[in-house]
Amino acid sequence: MFQPALEGCGYSCARAETSRGSLIASIVEGLIEADLVIADVTDLNANVFYELGVRHALRRGTISVSQGTDHVPSDLRGYWFLTYGLRPAEVAKFKTEIKRIVTAFEEQPDRGDSPVSDYLDSEQLSSSRQINRDNVKKLGALLTELSGNRLALRQYMSTRKPQVFSLGCLGLLIQTLYVDAGTDVLKRCYELEYKLQLLQKDIYPEQLVREASEQTVTLEEKIGEIKNKITKGEFTEPATVSAMVWSPRETISAGNEANLKCESVYGGVAEDPPNDWEQYNYSGVGAECSACAGRGTNVCLACAGAGRNCVACAGTGFQSCRECNGAGSSGGE
């Protein structure tokens, strides 16, 4: 009776039997691998209840059946449960009901169908809520840190006086990825951290300060959006864990073609960087300058790279290489 009903739903059926080895080991293996299990609890067979408990602990997808309600313990009532009879009309009704239950299972395979699965669902939900609550707190702290850094950058741009920057919360997100915000946000975090580390060393090139300020504002917006989505239960992490690599990139600054300035720039890029992040091959540029290793710049000798109030380097901490006059190469055009 059971086999035709399940085969009519597209399933192949097998009884819990074995021809060699341990009987219970074979049964447990079947209980783990089966997409669906029908447990006939008629006559209150102890072995059946033991195997039913094992299945409940292992997987969802269990249907309890019986020839009468008296055979079904109260603990099992309220879950997928069917009574059946052996008359033709009762068999036909059983097939119809089995098809309905199987269809419901296929549409909602994660729906609880036992006291065990219901308990695990509630525990997982409770754990998920606590994790989300902790993550919201961490993101809130990160937003506070970003706002402080944004104000410090504005203060520097208006006063040109060194400022104090905080990196603890930003570093925590980068190091632990407690919320996977995606490669775009992660890339921005790495780049901002790098710039703020330079600023902590009193290296204040104008472009660096401006870029750090812009990235801070952008990150505030994006982190704020993620925090709000987590609070509303709408945030979903990427299907694959975001990963970044640091890759060297060389650029040629625009300007006088007869006096090219080359400098080494680092950017955080995804594992599959686009073509514009690939290393350039320079044509028409001579051998790399040995004095500046091709950078085109050296640390300012007047201020030892400090940059503060230094007239010689205009506060950048760097000067054009005297050997190659900023070209980054010797003998180049």
According to the 3-state scheme, what is the secondary structure of 77-122? ECECEEECCCCHHHHHHHHHHHHHHHHHHHHCCCCCCCHHHHHHHH
Domain that holds residue 56: 2-113
Residue 145 clears pLDDT 50, i.e. is over it: yes
87 and 135 part of one domain: no
| Model confidence pLDDT, tens digit, residues 30-45 | 888 999 999 999 988 8
Which of 219, 240, 261 is the C-terminal boundary of a domain?
240
Domain boundary among 79, 113, 147: 113
Residues 103 and 166 in one domain: no
23 and 64 share one domain = yes
Task: Give the domain-ending residue among 197, 217, 240.
Answer: 240
Are residues 107 and 147 located together in one domain of the fold? no
Rounded to the nearest 5 degrees, what angle is found at the Cα of 115, between the Cα atoms of 130 and 74? Answer: 145
The domain that holds 21 is classified in CATH as: 3.40.50
Q: Specify the number of domains making up the chain.
A: 2
Asked if 139 and 236 sit in the same domain, the reply is yes
168-184 per-position pLDDT tens digit: 999 999 999 999 999 99
Entry pTM: 0.47
| Nearest to 170, CA basis, from 213, 216, 202 | 216
**Nearest in space to 249 (alpha carbons), one of 272, 273, 271:** 273
Q: Tell me, what's the pLDDT at 254?
A: 40
C-alpha to C-alpha distance for 309 and 21, rounded to whole angstroms: 85
Residue 262 lies in a domain: no
Q: What is the pLDDT of residue 190?
A: 93
Token pair 């640091």: residue: 246
Q: Are 143 and 93 in a shared domain?
A: no
Q: Looking at the structure, tell me whether residues 26 and 103 fall in a common domain.
A: yes
CB within 8 A of 247, min separation 6: which ones? 266, 267, 269, 273, 277
Q: What is the separation, in whole angstroms, between the first and last Cα of the chain?
A: 89
